[in-house]
Structure 1
């Protein structure tokens, strides 16, 4: 069988008996992906194609699922998100989230065998609908993996004028930076900007006396020689801790003031982060 989905009636029409369909399913050679829809593979593509067999032709993948297909989505979202025109009738399917949209999806692309909204459309829809701290990392990652270009995001957000959440999207899109390397780094940068501090520069290389790049900082302010970093669980490793100590001592000896923050700071007391840096940046 080709890698596609089949309705139960199509399997019977192809000559399979009900018993053969049952046996193939038990042997995992067929997978029941949705009501009366089967596929040879149980991967995401097979699931999407099976669901789309039951959706109207106007439906396209979007939001979290679209972002995943474009390479910058949050894998923690197990539901399938689709965009449909307002008023379209959608069957109730477990794990399907249908977003009614008054703004048409322009030029959908074919990904995993199903129509999908552009990367810019998915990114802006998420920037409008998610919390700021969730949206910023997705916008950064969208640019980092080159799913789209900054100008495409700016054009797309302009199309969403007057729609719910567009003010947040308009604010976040110009702040997106492809240099961010992790979720917490993006969120830490946003906390600093929302706190009224200048945008920090991501991934600063600090050179030695010969001008050779020696240490790289998560975030920083070159003129003030202030570095800002997020310390996750990896920093608890004994070998990593030794390297970090040597690095911190060298930076301090060479005029850099480093400030390190944890998940407790980032998610429970972001104001503390801002207040800690204000004296360093505005002495």
Structure 2
């Protein structure tokens, strides 16, 4: 079922009045839907029967539901509840991107996430959410950047800082790095499809030479590295940090 405005409104006309948009569907509506799924997720109280409609996934919430948040006419679980629900239930590598994006949306605060985790005490997956909430950082700008950061943290390397600006010799901001260890002059970046363009390639070469000339060690990784050989990422970054000493 597509998450189309007209279809969504039509769907809610067929649902119990207490139904609220939840999970990945609510996250997408709030603007932190970094994970995609075609199905529509809703939440109902435990004592309300489960409607059977194609493309609909129903969650019976254990916790009392706070007052729904209306987003363009559709009732949704509150943003912090949505973010923590997902942080509990999706795989760890996807959970931190959700939390980062929730903070970036400005609809959720770190204190709000901590308070929400406390409300989920004893529920499945809350340990994962409790570990990841302190690591969440709204400066992260894409899912893969958040995942790359988590790979390094889980390997017990120092946590890199997202979106580090590097200045030129006159103190002007020149380039921004996905993840950086500023004191060590080590940068870590994710190269996506946008880096295959010829003009972008020229820009990247100029940028790389600029960093080299100023003593920065840059390490670049792709989706193959991130999803198939994370140990390779860890080994290269660990070596760069060791050499920087």
TM (norm. structure 2) is 0.94
Checking the alignment, whether the CA contact within 8 Å between 2:190 and 2:222 is kept in structure 1 is yes
Q: What is the correspondence of 1:72-87 to structure 2 with a 5 Å cutoff?
A: 72-74=32-34, 76-87=36-47
TM (norm. structure 1) is 0.82
Number of paired residues?
Answer: 243
CA shift for structure 1 position 46 = 2.8
1:275 aligns with one of 216, 235, 238: 235
Name which one, 1 or 2, has greater alpha-carbon Rg.
Answer: 1
Q: 1: distance between equivalents of 2:28 and 2:198?
A: 35
Q: 2: distance between equivalents of 1:79 and 1:118?
A: 20
Larger relative contact order, structure 1 or 2 (CA cutoff 8 Å, min sep 6): 2
Q: 1: distance between equivalents of 2:196 and 2:71?
A: 40
Paired position in structure 1 for 2:215:
255
1:232 aligns with one of 179, 183, 192: 192
> Given the superposition, is the C-alpha separation of residues 43 and 72 from structure 1 closer, same or farther in structure 2, using an over 3 Å criterion?
closer
1:183 aligns with one of 121, 138, 143: 143
Checking the alignment, whether the CA contact within 8 Å between 2:3 and 2:38 is kept in structure 1 is no
Q: 2: distance between equivalents of 1:236 and 1:60?
A: 42
Paired position in structure 2 for 1:89:
49
CA shift for structure 1 position 74 = 4.0
**Runs of 4+ with >3 A deviation:** none
Segments of structure 1 that go 5 or more residues without pairing to the other structure are 1-32, 34-41
CA shift for structure 1 position 55 = 2.1
Q: What is the correspondence of 1:88-237 to structure 2 with a 5 Å cutoff?
A: 88-237=48-197
> Given the superposition, is the C-alpha separation of residues 103 and 119 from structure 1 closer, same or farther in structure 2, using an over 3 Å criterion?
same
